[in-house]
Structure 1
């Protein structure tokens, strides 16, 4: 009997440890590395903008290659040398300071639903705030700078799989289409496999320097209000 109780306690402790570890989100490190003693760490980004959202069937922004894509729009007011993007689903008990919360997230914050995240970072040819509008975005030319599916740097999902995403993109100064200039960007997200996207998520965009005036929102209307 004693052995059974000890075994149950061990399983409970292990489960609690895994859950606690799954909720922990480390500081967002840049591509710049620094050696501290025997360890080499990634220097944390200086600027981090966080967004809490909830994806559900029927409110996708676009269907591409059979996948339902959702977008978060972002205004970058200055030239950047690097941008980092990461996404975690579900949000769970992860604590995030000063995050923008969508109405959908606030209504579904307690949901334990999640999805296999797949992210893209895209830049438009809109370089002036005055050009930001629903029609302007629809007619804009979008360039995909980078994409990521699975990242071992991110916390594992409740399933135990490393299906959360992270990318770091360095500006390619010699290529106008690949440079991180002032302008309108968007983070695209969907699932790796074709199907429905449903669950809470945390999306973060970061830079190695302060970028006063960075704004991020789920819709163009919300973005314009934040500028």
Structure 2
């Protein structure tokens, strides 16, 4: 049996194990691009590591930019090493509770107390920034290139209106093209809405197969998280 064949067999076995596990626990909604047909179903493998960011947008949270004429807000992620794939999802309103491992905006708890049912149609854009030195994150940078975007997906739960307006994208690396390689550095997640105002709670999730990914609402906060371990 060749190494290539062995790898395929192991992948199938891993996904079969995943299927058995899913019978008792569905796990995170965001799954990787690796999949295998199991009977009539297509089963996607989970990422090895997930990070979640809980936020709430109201009048006190000012937009940071424009995307196609719409007010846009930013999240920043630090990826500490080259990675094969990055998955991103955004769901509104929030259905789960943050844990001690999650990143939570200061506005989240007050916003949920005020109106936890408020939600918006999410639209996400994923960009690479020109920051690769962790010690210089706070100095800022610029977007080097757009990598992907998503508006609607049926892989995430419908919002309270019954519409599948939450967002999910997967970006895979391209080793033959350096401009499409997912390398160590800072990435920006922009989010807006084209069907409503951006107002209400959201949960952003990043899935990768490496540990150590950090996410924050500003480069200053991200710098502190990466270099000191706290805000």
Please state which band the TM-score falls in when normalised by the shorter chain. Answer: 0.7 to 0.9
Aligned equivalent of 1:170: 172
Matches within 5 A, 1:60-79: 60-79=63-82
Gaps of 5+ in 1: 1-23
Aligned equivalent of 1:113: 118
Aligned equivalent of 1:123: 128
Structure 1 Cα separation of the partners of residues 85 and 144 of structure 2? 18
Aligned equivalent of 2:213: 214
- State the SS of the aligned residue for 2:178: coil
Given the two structures, how large is their TM-score scaled by the length of structure 2?
A: 0.79
Structure 1 Cα separation of the partners of residues 143 and 221 of structure 2? 21
**Does the alignment pair 1:101 with 2:100?**
no
- Pick closer, same or farther for the CA change 1:45–1:106 going to 2, 3 Å: same
Please provide the CA RMSD for this pair.
1.9
Aligned counterpart in structure 2 of residue 155 of structure 1, from 154, 157, 169: 157
- Pick closer, same or farther for the CA change 1:40–1:196 going to 2, 3 Å: closer
* TM superposition shift of 1:224: 1.3
Give the aligned length: 197
Render the CA deviation track for 1:61-116: whole Å, top value 9, x for unaligned: 1123311110100110000110000000010x324543211101121124211111
Given the two structures, how large is their TM-score scaled by the length of structure 1?
A: 0.80
| Contact 1:124–1:142 (Cα < 8 Å) also in 2 | yes
Aligned counterpart in structure 1 of residue 83 of structure 2, from 80, 83, 93: 80
Structure 2 Cα separation of the partners of residues 114 and 39 of structure 1? 31
- State the SS of the aligned residue for 1:71: strand
Aligned equivalent of 2:9: none
Aligned equivalent of 2:204: 203
Render the CA deviation track for 1:168-214: whole Å, top value 9, x for unaligned: 11112222222101111011100024x6311100000111x222x21
More deviation, 73-82/106-115? 106-115
* TM superposition shift of 1:25: 7.7
Structure 1 Cα separation of the partners of residues 210 and 27 of structure 2? 21
- Of the two, which has the highest radius of gyration? 1
* TM superposition shift of 1:27: 3.7
